[in-house]
Amino acid sequence: MALRNHNHADLALRSAGILLVCLAALIGRRLFAVPDSGAKYDPIAYLLALIGMSSACAGAALTVLGRHLFDQVELPARWTIHEPPRRR
């Protein structure tokens, strides 16, 4: 039963990633459709670019990793924080 739930979660996360990448593509098409490239951009264009880049990055991570995005990894000893010795 638990394996089936993991497969559903994996499928849902990857589907959400594909939707985010599609959203980023639509936003990108909208931004490239600006008729004059030398014209001043309004704040909406910058907001669309921010949303497009954020959704592209998050969508790519979700699509590639799926449920393994939340797996815990063990860090090597050199990257862990060690407490300094206490003074007496």
pLDDT in tens, 12-67: 999 999 999 999 999 999 888 766 666 666 788 888 889 999 999 999 999 999 88
Give the residue, 46 or 1, on which the prediction is more confident. 46
Residue 74 domain flag = no
pLDDT attached to residue 12: 92
DSSP string of 70-82, one letter each residue: G---PPPGGGS--
Residue 51 domain flag = yes
Q: How far apart are CA 79 and CA 13, in angstroms?
A: 29
Q: How many domains does the chain have?
A: 1
> Tokens 């990857």 label which residue?
14
The pLDDT-based confidence of 1 (bands split at 50, 70, 90) is very low
Residue 58 domain flag = yes
- The pTM assigned to this predicted structure is 0.72
Residue 60 domain flag = yes
pLDDT attached to residue 6: 75
